[in-house]
Structure 1
Amino acid sequence: MNKLPICGGSVAPAERTLAICRAATRFCALRGWAPVQEVPLPNGRRADILALQPDGGFVILEIKSCARDFLSDTKWPEYRDFCDRLYFAVDLDFPQDLVPEDAGLVVADGWESALLREASPHPLAPSRRRSLLHRFARLAAGRLAALADPEGHAAMRAALKVE
């Protein structure tokens, strides 16, 4: 009986996910991509990492901590509508044969990660790209402003909830 490795081991799934996400974010930055984590998409889904490439292309990196995480998630195909390329970022223990052939594969090991397979391109329509770029910029600028002035950001959010 061939069993898939499930979420287990000495590292909790949440810690494993965080470590993969950090390595994937570094992977993006080293390539000159501008990564933003936890990006709400217009279809109600949330991309783990949406990165803007120097040429204006968008990639989504979907973080998967284990086979169970991958097999229980049926939402990731819906991310393709909001990127030019879709990658999965996993760690060394992840069963790589689960990742679809047309998706890219990034494997994280501690602080580092490596591209094992390039993602197939599926270019966004110009109108969708423009809309996504606007969403990306507003989200990134808002998060940067919140880091610069946490109290002012909290007060503004509270004021907006009252209105």
Structure 2
Amino acid sequence: MTSDLIESSLMPGQLLARGVSRHLRSHDFVSVEELVPSQGLRVDVMGLGPKGEIWIVECKSSRVDFQSDRKWQGYLEWCDRFFWAVDSDFPTELLPDDTGLILADAYDAEIIRVGPETRLAPARRRVMVQKFARHAAIRAQTARDPGFVHIY
């Protein structure tokens, strides 16, 4: 598949997530997309920093997308910092001031506002790092062997 075909098959939020992940890498964070911290929640991007920091980034592609999100506050207990990622046309005045803000596109991003830090308890951090590692390993294995069926 050419890059143009891949790009056209991605949803707007997935394109934002790609730009966010690229930007996080420039800050020495590694990231995974669509991680499930607990039943009923699925974060768009989770970043793991060089000192074990855990950031969650929710990508919103429109006003309707943001206004229909009823679960975002449930993500706060699973990270050290929480960010919204939106494109330059998004009405940022809708976003809570006490959260981080990232302006992104499909290719890169810029952190506009860093939200407050709420350090995870060590036991919660250990759980999240394990979930991150397993999620990343499953994604890597699936990329290497797409015909393999795995059970979560």
Q: TM-score, normalised by structure 1?
A: 0.82
Letter in 2 for 1:142: I
Is residue 104 from structure 1 mapped to residue 68 from structure 2 by the alignment? no
How far the C-alpha of 1:44 sits from its partner, in A, is: 2.3
3-state DSSP of counterpart to 2:57: strand
How far the C-alpha of 1:39 sits from its partner, in A, is: 0.3
1:5-49 deviation digits (Å, cap 9, x = unpaired): xxxxxxxxx732222111111111111111100001124200000
Aligned equivalents of 1:39 and 1:22: distance in 2?
14
Q: Which stretch of structure 1 is more off in the superposition, 14-23 or 24-33?
A: 14-23
**Aligned partner of 1:125 among 116, 121, 143:** 121
Cα gap change, 1:139/1:121 in structure 2, threshold over 3 Å: closer, same or farther? same
Q: Which has the higher contact order (CA 8 A, sep 6+)?
A: 2
Aligned equivalents of 1:149 and 1:19: distance in 2?
24
**Aligned partner of 1:78 among 71, 74, 77:** 74
Give the match for residue 143 of structure 2: 147
Is residue 41 from structure 1 mapped to residue 37 from structure 2 by the alignment? yes
Q: Which runs of 5+ in 1 are unaligned?
A: 1-13
**Aligned partner of 1:59 among 24, 43, 55:** 55
Q: Which runs of 5+ in 2 are unaligned?
A: 1-9
Give the match for residue 134 of structure 2: 138
How far the C-alpha of 1:150 sits from its partner, in A, is: 2.3
Is residue 23 from structure 1 mapped to residue 3 from structure 2 by the alignment? no
Aligned length: 144
Q: Percent identity?
A: 36
Cα gap change, 1:75/1:55 in structure 2, threshold over 3 Å: closer, same or farther? same
1:72-99 deviation digits (Å, cap 9, x = unpaired): 1111000001000000000001011111
Aligned equivalents of 2:40 and 2:129: distance in 1?
17
Aligned equivalents of 1:111 and 1:25: distance in 2?
9
How far the C-alpha of 1:110 sits from its partner, in A, is: 4.6
Aligned equivalents of 2:108 and 2:131: distance in 1?
29
How far the C-alpha of 1:113 sits from its partner, in A, is: 1.4
Aligned equivalents of 2:19 and 2:53: distance in 1?
21
